[in-house]
Structure 1
Amino acid sequence: MKKIKRFMQLGLSLLLIGSLLFFANGTGFADDHSVIVKKGDTLYSLSKKHNLTVEELKSFNGLENNTIYIGQKLLLPGLKESEPMYAVVGGSFSNKENASKQIAVLKKKGINATVITKVINDKTYYRVQAGVFSKKGNAEKQKELLRKNGIKDAYIVTNKNLQVNGVYNGSTYSQLLQQFGKPVKTEDQLNIRSLYYDDDGAGVTVKFNMENGSVFGLQVYPEFLKLSSLPKDKSQVINVYGYPNAVKNTSCYESATCEQFIYQFNKNKLIIQFDRDGKTVQYFDLSKMQ
């Protein structure tokens, strides 16, 4: 069984190397988070404040030395991913065509929107989403705009970006180690690193930018980790992530069929695959949508 699962890990790792198939989920994505340098700030003080190393902060911003100046804008990798964002949503249709008609009306009025789905108790519902915003005030304005244009039940959904054990796309590699712990060994293949926490298989496989250490792909296998913070079964997954945007059956080892929960939010996609028993989490696969 473990040999089969190691084979599955290899296949998924190779999948990270190649092109992944993604589908969009909404418009008006949240802006990158940044900080403006104030009097008394140093790279060291800012790195400590935002749980980064000085080298990560320098590399992410293309700084050749430790000099910064008042008023300078610095990007903070990973921080924006963990802050709340606000999606503007309206309607709930059992028929996708009805949601599409609403979107067509909005587009004629210059409002960009898209259809999103939620699968609740095996039934798919279609909703209109008109943006994801980093500032609640902008989401409130968009909500009122939708209501004025016929979506009377428009509301705001507060979400954080998709994550696995507190690691987001945009987190740094050192932040990942803080969340998962130091592995007993690692293996590198191009820009993919496999982290082993025991001798049986890689508990974490991460794709990250070697220059600035920014994570943009992550696979996690609970079987090879001793973490109580990871949801282990379907009921725990729903408690942590809510109902998925889509549900898919896929072939897995020994010609079995495994179920996947698919979540999408703000250009991020999370696939959680369950074992053939239909409830035990097999792996988490977090990726950046194109």
Structure 2
Amino acid sequence: MNKIKRLLQLGLSVLLMISLLFFTNGFGYADDHDVTVKKGDTLYSLSKKHNLTVQELKDFNGLKNNTIYIGQKLLLPGLTESEPMYAVVAGSFSKKDNATKQIANLKKKGIEATVITKVIYNKTYYCIQAGVFSKKVNAEKQKKLLRKNGITDAYIVTSKNLHVLDVHVGFTYSQLLQQFGKPVKTEDQLNIRSLYYNGEGAGVRVNFNMENGSVFGLQVYPEYLKLGSLPKEKSQVINVYGYPNDVKNVSCYESATCGQFIYQFNKHELIIQFDRDGKTVQYFDLSRLH
């Protein structure tokens, strides 16, 4: 078990992506984050502080004018998506039956948990996830509870929500442009906007709410971008995102077979498809799970 734990933690303490479920006994998805208006705050000062425009802040909160009052809570688009969360792991196993037994033992002690799969070097491991928290202090309490109940090797994994070039579901369209840059042209079809950067294919396709500009889906094609910071090969993908929750082979162009890494975390899913050479990234597809 210690060997598996080392594999899971090695170099992945921040980047390891673990999917999560909502539990009813005090842990689960992070709450929406907001800011409480204080004396001296204005929409302009708050927008500058949180890297937004005044109009974005108004649209996201349904404000008709620039008037705000002390004590008012304003939702900040993109903030929740980029803040770290803390998953508590209560053991990792190479056999699913052993993981299932661990789940049953924890439930007898009143501790809810679920099995999360990770694929490492083409081998599937089964991790016991016993809660995900938006506050580290709560994760520490859960870890302490597990250790009191005999899970002496319980540990915490820190991770952020899934992203592509630091763009998360929930960001605004203008925040996306800050990361990818201004395109040479755009094309709109329903609520999908295609962004062209070199005049050939669309480098980015973004699904967003036309009313408040909130991004809820993103497809990125490295072939049509000139961004060196975007991972373009499988080894780079693992360095950035860690090992996937699932690996699949799918049919792609010209009857070829292409591989996919699938990551799921905090109600979001990221699919990264590789070309038929097995290593070159074809596209990133980031969306919110329903």
**TM-score for both structures, normalised by structure 2:** 0.89
- Report the Cα distance in structure 1 between the residues aligned to 2:112 and 2:62, rounded to whole angstroms: 34
- Report the Cα distance in structure 1 between the residues aligned to 2:207 and 2:131, rounded to whole angstroms: 28
- Report the Cα distance in structure 1 between the residues aligned to 2:147 and 2:218, rounded to whole angstroms: 38
Secondary structure at the aligned position of 1:264 is classed as strand
Does residue 105 of structure 1 match 2:100?
no
Does residue 115 of structure 1 match 2:110?
no
Q: Which residue in 1 is equivalent to 2:283?
A: 283
- Partner deviation per Cα, 1:98-156 (whole Å, 9 max, x = no partner): 21222233234433221111111111100111222111011111112222233322111
- Report the Cα distance in structure 2 between the residues aligned to 1:131 and 1:192, rounded to whole angstroms: 35
Q: Which residue in 1 is equivalent to 2:267?
A: 267
CA contact (8 A) 2:20 2:132 kept: no
- Report the Cα distance in structure 1 between the residues aligned to 2:113 and 2:61, rounded to whole angstroms: 33
Secondary structure at the aligned position of 1:48 is classed as helix
Secondary structure at the aligned position of 1:163 is classed as coil
Does residue 225 of structure 1 match 2:225?
yes
- Partner deviation per Cα, 1:228-283 (whole Å, 9 max, x = no partner): 11001011111111111111111111111111111111111111111000100110
- Report the Cα distance in structure 2 between the residues aligned to 1:30 and 1:149, rounded to whole angstroms: 26
- Report the Cα distance in structure 2 between the residues aligned to 1:150 and 1:30, rounded to whole angstroms: 27
Secondary structure at the aligned position of 1:167 is classed as coil
For residue 199 of structure 1, report the CA deviation from its aligned partner: 2.4
Q: Which residue in 2 is equivalent to 1:15?
A: none
For residue 207 of structure 1, report the CA deviation from its aligned partner: 0.7
Q: What do you get for the CA RMSD once the two structures are aligned?
A: 1.3
Q: Which residue in 1 is equivalent to 2:150?
A: 150
CA contact (8 A) 1:78 1:168 kept: yes
Mark the runs of 5 or more structure 1 residues left unpaired by the alignment. 1-23
Question: How many pairs are equivalent?
Answer: 267
Q: Which residue in 2 is equivalent to 1:134?
A: 134
Q: Which residue in 2 is equivalent to 1:17?
A: none
Identity of aligned residues (%): 82
For residue 88 of structure 1, report the CA deviation from its aligned partner: 0.9
Does residue 198 of structure 1 match 2:198?
yes
Q: Which residue in 1 is equivalent to 2:124?
A: 124
- Report the Cα distance in structure 1 between the residues aligned to 2:124 and 2:134, rounded to whole angstroms: 28
- Report the Cα distance in structure 2 between the residues aligned to 1:232 and 1:152, rounded to whole angstroms: 39
Counterpart residue type for residue 144 of structure 2: E
Q: Which residue in 1 is equivalent to 2:9?
A: none
- Report the Cα distance in structure 2 between the residues aligned to 1:208 and 1:131, rounded to whole angstroms: 30
Q: Which residue in 2 is equivalent to 1:176?
A: 176
Q: Which residue in 2 is equivalent to 1:244?
A: 244
Counterpart residue type for residue 244 of structure 1: P
- Report the Cα distance in structure 1 between the residues aligned to 2:258 and 2:180, rounded to whole angstroms: 26
Does residue 25 of structure 1 match 2:55?
no
- Report the Cα distance in structure 1 between the residues aligned to 2:108 and 2:73, rounded to whole angstroms: 37
Counterpart residue type for residue 155 of structure 2: Y
- Report the Cα distance in structure 2 between the residues aligned to 1:150 and 1:273, rounded to whole angstroms: 41
CA contact (8 A) 1:183 1:197 kept: yes
Secondary structure at the aligned position of 2:212 is classed as coil
**TM-score for both structures, normalised by structure 1:** 0.89
CA contact (8 A) 2:274 2:281 kept: yes
- Partner deviation per Cα, 1:169-210 (whole Å, 9 max, x = no partner): 011100001111111111112111111112221100111111
Mark the runs of 5 or more structure 2 residues left unpaired by the alignment. 1-18, 23-27
Q: Which residue in 1 is equivalent to 2:257?
A: 257
Counterpart residue type for residue 203 of structure 2: G
